[in-house]
């Protein structure tokens, strides 16, 4: 491992890794290493697939309703509400992971609500500009924060500026879109390891010697992996989910949430935690709730306002509490 006094290789480990492997994949593409391979390998490993760079325009400015006037369908709206609820559950875990890796104070409910609200605004703009999918919190960025130890807001602001820049200059955006998917998959393995460990780290406040805690933890994790796997495999084989009625909106409202591991595991864990013998003091200590009593109020720690206040005087319109 290469180390330096300025921690360059720690801070830019992801960038260096992506660039090195990306250049290597491009050399293999130019050298003809993928000429006689199968279509899946061609699609996954080549850096010039589908002529993405040559077909991209130099400048393209997105504008509202570029794909036509908006339409409304009640069934699709119910499906989107189900998907948004799943995104809400997954975003909650990501928010908590980011606050822990950024060494911030425990996340108060008001900040969580504000973050979900801004996510809803992002989804609204996604629909207005006609993106292929809605906006959601990036769990990968939480893992990147843990890897690089960089939790500055300025980094996020600069990154947002780069994303806007590359979305307008199509050629530059296409260059980044040419990154082979295996590189992204490798980074996901690393980032999601940090995100998962952030959730497991919260178990240190629970009594893991309690059989109640062991059952809730084991059952929710097992079912959280098994049920979505069944839903996803069933959909892949039959082209529709296990819940298949004439009402498509009802099918989506059931199939979409139960295809999410985080949603199923979190829902089961919460249900079991609030129903299995939670009234006596011993059970409350097993749950670890007494550790969080002093963090219930946002103003308990004077640093909370520093961590969670918005920049550019936006806190006047969107206060932390």
Tokens of 39: 């279509």
State how far the alpha carbon of 211 is from the alpha carbons of 116, 208, 319, in Å: 34, 8, 42
pTM of structure? 0.77
State how far the alpha carbon of 98 is from the alpha carbons of 35, 52, 72, 95, 143, in Å: 43, 34, 36, 5, 8
Tell me, what's the pLDDT at 175? 81
Residue 227, pLDDT above cutoff 90: yes
Average pLDDT over residues 161-189: 83
Separation of alpha carbons 301 and 81, rounded Å: 36
Q: From its phi and psi, is residue 168 left (phi > 0), alpha (psi between -120 and 50) or beta?
A: alpha
Distance between the two ends of the chain, CA-based, in angstroms? Answer: 44
Tens-digit pLDDT profile for residues 170-179 = 888 788 878 8
Percent of the chain that is helix, strand, coil (3-state, to 5) = 70, 0, 30
């Amino acid at each position: 491992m290469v180390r330096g006094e300025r921690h360059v290789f720690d801070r830019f480990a992801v960038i260096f890794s992506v660039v090195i492997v990306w250049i290597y994949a491009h050399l293999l593409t130019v050298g003809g290493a993928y000429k006689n391979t199968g279509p899946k390998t061609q699609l996954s490993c080549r850096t010039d697939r589908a002529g993405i760079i040559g077909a991209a325009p130099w400048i393209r400015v997105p504008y509202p309703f570029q794909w036509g006037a908006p339409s409304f369908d009640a069934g699709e709206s119910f499906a989107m509400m189900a998907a948004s609820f799943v995104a809400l559950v997954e975003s909650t875990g990501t928010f908590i992971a980011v606050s822990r890796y950024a060494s911030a104070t425990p996340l108060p409910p008001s900040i969580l609500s504000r973050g979900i609200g801004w996510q809803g605004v992002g989804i609204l703009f996604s629909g207005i500009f006609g993106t292929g999918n809605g906006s959601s919190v990036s769990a990968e960025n939480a893992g990147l924060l843990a890897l690089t130890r960089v939790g500055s807001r300025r980094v996020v602001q600069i990154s947002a500026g780069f994303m806007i820049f590359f979305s307008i200059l199509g050629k530059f955006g296409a260059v980044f879109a040419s990154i082979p998917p295996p590189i992204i998959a490798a980074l996901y393995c690393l980032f999601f390891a940090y995100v998962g460990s952030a959730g497991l780290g919260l178990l240190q406040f629970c009594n893991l010697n309690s059989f109640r805690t062991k059952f809730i933890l084991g059952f929710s994790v097992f079912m959280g992996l098994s049920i979505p796997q069944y839903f996803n495999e069933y959909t892949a084989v039959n082209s529709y989910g296990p819940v298949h009625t004439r009402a498509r909106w009802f099918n989506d409202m059931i199939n979409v949430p139960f295809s999410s591991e985080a949603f199923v595991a979190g829902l089961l864990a919460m249900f079991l935690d609030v129903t299995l013998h939670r009234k006596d003091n011993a059970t409350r200590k097993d749950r670890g709730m007494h550790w969080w009593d002093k963090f219930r109020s946002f103003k308990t720690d004077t640093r909370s306002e520093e961590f969670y206040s918005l920049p550019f005087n936006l806190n006047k319109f969107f206060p932390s509490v």
